[in-house]
Amino acid sequence: MNQISPELEKKLTEAVEKMPAFPKSVQKILELTRNLDCEPKHLVQVIEKDPVMTVKILRVLNSVHCNLPNKITSVNHSVVFLGFNTIKNLALSIASVGILPKYNTAGFDMQQYLLHSLTTAGIAKLLGDKLAGADPMDCYIAGLLHDFGKVVFAQFMPDEFNRALLKRDSENISLHLAERQVIGVDHTVVGSMLAEKWQFPPTLVDCMRNHHSPDAGEGVMWASVYAANQISKKMSFGDGGNHCIEALPPAVRNYFGGDLDEIIASLGDLSKIVEEAQFFFQVGADA
């Protein structure tokens, strides 16, 4: 059984409303918005590097109030549709909630999680560039948000999530299996449940739901995120908490014409993606 109970669904949905964003992006938003002539593109760059900020902006944009003809996944879209000042004030109101604590009782390293998410996003974008019909920016956002369920667990179900992390270590199993055994559902279910509730585009919901389901997912965006997630783990870029590297399903291999190592080789030097993420958030530094 990998289904979320209505009670848990309600609890998590309400909790995420009050969820703070990552410290570095909150700090940068506050810095940037102090200046009246703040460059819109700089603000967009900060929002796009924070899964919580991105989720909250996209949630507003995709809500019934905006009634957009096509569901939207990029922060640039949000600036065109709602205007820069509205996005700036939304970002400020998210920043005013506070910051995600550096240490949580779950024992989950948020900085390493963020690095894993950012590198998965960057690699998914590179992969999306290679596939006809894929929107690289959509792939980026899907990569950034694929593990969103984990940060929700860490923040709002820290004891259960901690037991899942311990079980992962003691039984040497993947984190999502441990989550299912301890919590009853894994992060893919929680993340995609929220994304669906916020009326995110179906392809994005599908990526969040099926990035550990070799047989259930489909489409170019899913393939890009599935592969990018494994590549990020294989290259040890950050740590999303799951150390098992999964073989690529045939559908994903077909898209890219090779297995994991061949795709990695085809991508060339990935260090720029890691450096960008580290530079932006100074992962590992105390500041």
Partner 1 sequence: MKIKFWGVRGSIPSPGTNTVKYGGNTTCIEIRTDDNELIILDAGTGIFALSQVLLSEMPVTANVFITHSHWDHIQGLPFFLPMFVHGNTLRLHGAFDPVSGRGIEQIMEVQLQYSYFSVREAEMKARIEYETLMPEQSVRIGSATITPTLLNHPVINFGYRIDCNGKSVFFTGDHEPYCNIYTPGDEGYEEYWMLIEDKEKSIIEAMRGVDVLIADSSFTAEEYPSKKGWGHGTFDSCIAMAKKSGAKLVYCTHHEPTRSDEALEREFEKALLRHPQQDGGPECRLAREGEEILL
CB count within 10 Å of CB 18 equals 10
Min CB(65)–partner 1 separation in Å: 4
Tell me if 272 contacts partner 1 by CB under 8 A: no
Q: Apex CA 69: angle with CA 13 and CA 226, to 5°?
A: 55
Min CB(169)–partner 1 separation in Å: 40
Tell me if 123 contacts partner 1 by CB under 8 A: no
In this complex, which beta carbon is closest to partner 1, that of residue 138 or of residue 179? 138
Q: Per-residue contact track with partner 1, 80 to 109, x per CB under 8 A?
A: xxxxxxx--xx--x----------------
Q: Please answer whether residues 9 and 193 qualify as being in contact, where contact means their C-beta atoms are separated by less than 8 angstroms.
A: yes
Q: How far apart are CA 199 and CA 71, in angstroms?
A: 8
How many binding residues for partner 1 (CB under 8 A)? 27
Q: Which of 65, 170, 268, 286 binds partner 1 (CB under 8 A)?
A: 65
Min CB(94)–partner 1 separation in Å: 10
CA atoms within 13 A on the CB side of 106: 20
Q: How far apart are CA 106 and CA 104, in angstroms?
A: 5
**Which residue from 81, 138, 9 is spatially nearest to 90, judged by alpha carbons?**
81
Considering only residues 33 through 52, tell me which ones interact with partner 1, judged by CB under 8 A: 39-41, 44
Tell me if 227 contacts partner 1 by CB under 8 A: no
In this complex, which beta carbon is closest to partner 1, that of residue 83 or of residue 257? 83
Tokens of residue 169, six digits? 């270590």
Among 57-65, 184-192, 246-254, 279-287, the segment contacting partner 1 (CB under 8 A): 57-65
Min CB(90)–partner 1 separation in Å: 6
Tell me if 69 contacts partner 1 by CB under 8 A: yes
In this complex, which beta carbon is closest to partner 1, that of residue 83 or of residue 202? 83
In this complex, which beta carbon is closest to partner 1, that of residue 94 or of residue 185? 94
Binding site for partner 1 (CB under 8 A): 39-41, 44, 60, 63-69, 74, 76-77, 79-86, 89-90, 93, 137
